[in-house]
Every structure is written in structure tokens, then in C-alpha cells.
Structure 1
Amino acid sequence: MNERKENIETLFFKDDGVIPNHPNLPVLLYKGIWAKDPSRAESRLNRNGWGNSWLNGVFDYHHYHSNAHEALAVVSGFVQLVLGGEKGQRVYLQTGDVVVLPAGTGHKRLEASPDFRIAGAYPGGTDYNTRTGEPGERPEVLREIRDVPIPGTDPVYGNEGPLLELWNKRK
């Protein structure tokens, strides 16, 4: 399991008034990190301390989780997401890619291949909520996002890794 750390990209998103995004933490993209054996993505996430996992797709509407960070690992196919809200950034993910979304980060599926499947998981197996940017939820979600702790493990590398290095610098 020789995974190269130089394939990690960071993306920052600001609050757009509807989707809060995270005020300090970047989205992390691990491109092609598990391309050699994507079928084990869910078990690898679990082994690295990210649980409450599932295997499915991504909603086709803007949403975010205000009480949990989320790791998404592409098991098969490809997907184009928009991250950060309506005016956010389009991101293309394919088999073997992993994206880590800090609490509050908006995400929406724009298109996907027929064979697209993704594994999702949360640090420590956290129960997550699903928010859509309704005006009444705003004061509560801003507090929740701020209170979500930095995970104790990186979903790809475990007890060490870019998430721990990058996110602990920015808390």
C-alpha cells in the first residue's frame, strides 16, 4: 500500500450566504490514491477510524453536514460534483479518488457514470445530519460547524497524513 502524498490538492470555499462551507479548513482531494484496489475503499476508511459508512451515490441537490466532516471514496465510475455551493467549483472524481469535506462544505452531484458508486464515512463513526441551506437553520449550523473537532485520524493514511498536518495548522 504505497500511496503517494504528493497527489493531494486543497480547495477553500467561503460562505456564500446559503451554503456556509467551513471558515478555516480546506477540502482535501486525494487523486488516484486507491486506484489499484478501489473495492476496499469502505473497509480502508473504517480501518483508519472513519465509520458510520455507506456505499451509494451523491445527492443531486446542494447539501452539507453541519455536525460532521465527511470522506468520500470513489469505488467505481466517475462523478462530477460542484463543491462550495451554487457558485462553487466543479470537481471531477474517478475510481480511486478520495475527497474529504470539512463540516459545512456544500456538495452536489452534477453528473455520473452509470456504474458510479462511492463510499462515505465520518470520523469516529459520527452520526451526521443533512442540511440544504434553509434560512432558518443558519444560526444553529454556524455554531455546529465551528464546534466539530479535528479528526484524530486521516481517512487515507490513518494516524499520520495530510489531513492531520493541514487541518491542525488551521484550527
Structure 2
Amino acid sequence: MPENQVRVHTHYLPPTTLIPNSPYPLLHYPALLPNPHPSHIHTLFTTNAWKTHWIYRYGATQKSHYHSSAHECMAVLTGTATIRFGAGDTNPTCTDDDLAASTHGPDHEAGGVEIQARAGDVFVVPAGVSHKTFDAKPQAEFALLTPGTGHGIEVAEGEGVEVGKVLEGVKLEGFTMIGSYPVGGEWDFCDGGEGEEKRRRAWGLPKPGSDPVLGMAGEGLCGLW
């Protein structure tokens, strides 16, 4: 558990027409990790039975989406951005230009919350809660920075390479986050309007046994979910 004082902001996000959201609150720990380092954060995740799946570098915007099959933790490594939680995009077939226009325009649902994300911030996102990252700075192209498909970190077989060592070699530039999910959880991608089955699935997922960063501490999800 980090030694600095823990601050946590809780956001209860009700269902919308497109997004199930969750009875559990979104948790935002601002500046929880003052010197975020991928391999150190991976060690925290592993200790607390969460599995590191990816490091992404974010571009100007992305589609709003949620995961119905897994709770998620995102820790900011570098840069700044705005993340909108809890509201879906209302133009599901939009182009990249449409996405850029919808960031501050009318092409998203009312409601939700927008949070300014900075290096060191941690978000624990319940299954069903949508999120959309935009206005990422420094500006860069969206990219998966870790080997694999984003569903776990691939390491070369037979070379004895550990995930932490792979993460140390990742070049971080732009706005980057590292993501993890409870061990055994696999994330899906839902952009809204999938219906009752996805809502039931998201709402029916059990509470994780520990917080990805704070472990069993009451300041984390163990005391807040």
C-alpha cells in the first residue's frame, strides 16, 4: 500500500438509456501514486490478485465504452486528459471526425461525470460504468504499447522474461495508462445499448476480494463497495 495519505472521490452513476453503470461507485484516488512506474504498479496489482493487461497511449478521443465482464483499474502513468464516466455516445457509427466533434458537442447522453486525470491518479471502475478518454496531452496517436492484444502482457516463451521486465522497456510518451482486472477476469468492449443481458452480467459480477492498489485497506473498494 502506498505510504502517502489516501484521498478518494466516490461517484455513484445511475443507469442511462445506453449504459448500465453500476450500484458500486466509481473510485478516483487522485495522486495516489506520486511516482508512477509500470513495473512497480504491476507488482502492486499482482500482490492484490489483479492482473496487468495493458498500457495504452491515448489519442485525441475514443468511443465511450464499458466492460460487462470485468471490473477494471486504470492508473495514469504520464500526461493529462479528461475522462467522461457514465454517459454513452449517441452516434455509435461515428467517424474519427465525428468523435472529435462529439467530445464537447451534443453527441453524448446527459449525465455522467468528467474528471481531469493526471499522472499518479488511480481509477477503480466497476463493470458497467462507461468511460471515454479525450483531450489527451501531450498529443499523440492512440496505441497499445505492450506486447499482445491488450488482454494480458505477452512474454517470450523459454527466455525467462518476467512481465515486470517487459514493462520496464515500454517507452512512455503522451497520455498513458496501465490497466488491470481481477485475476480470472476478461474484459469485453460494449459501446452502449446492448440491452438487459449485459446489464445483468455487469451488475451480477462479484465484488473483488481486494483493491488493486490498496489491498484490504478500508479506504479502498473493500470498504467502499
The one-letter code sitting in structure 2 at the alignment partner of 1:101 is V
Unaligned runs of 5+ in 2: 88-108, 139-173
1:113-128 to structure 2, matched below 5 A, reads 113-114=137-138, 115-128=174-187
Please list every run of at least 4 consecutive aligned residues from structure 1 whose deviation after the TM superposition is greater than 6 angstroms.
Answer: none
For the pair shown, the structure with the greater C-alpha radius of gyration is 2
Q: 2:85 aligns with which of 74, 78, 83?
A: 83
CA distance in 1, matches of 2:204, 2:187: 14
CA displacement, residues 48-103 of structure 1 (integer Å, 9 cap, x when unaligned): 21114211145711100011110000011111111101332111110000001101
CA distance in 2, matches of 1:13, 1:36: 30
Asked if residue 108 in structure 1 is aligned to residue 109 in structure 2, the reply is: no
The residue aligned with 1:14 is: 14
**Helix, strand or coil at the partner of 2:180:** strand
CA distance in 2, matches of 1:81, 1:66: 19
Displacement of 1:41 in angstroms is: 2.4
**Helix, strand or coil at the partner of 2:195:** helix
**Identical-residue share of aligned pairs (%):** 33
The residue aligned with 1:32 is: 31
Asked if residue 146 in structure 1 is aligned to residue 203 in structure 2, the reply is: yes
Give the structure with the larger strand fraction. 1
CA distance in 1, matches of 2:187, 2:36: 27
The one-letter code sitting in structure 2 at the alignment partner of 1:60 is Q
Structure-1-length-normalised TM-score: 0.88
- Tell me: higher relative CO, structure 1 or 2? Use CA pairs within 8 A at least 6 residues apart: 2
Unaligned runs of 5+ in 1: none
CA distance in 1, matches of 2:189, 2:36: 30
Give the structure with the larger helix fraction. 1
Pair 1:125–1:118, CA change in 2 (3 A):
farther
Determine if contact 2:42/2:52 at 8 Å carries over to the other structure.
Answer: no
Q: How many residues align?
A: 163
Determine if contact 2:10/2:27 at 8 Å carries over to the other structure.
Answer: yes
**Helix, strand or coil at the partner of 2:133:** strand
The residue aligned with 2:103 is: none
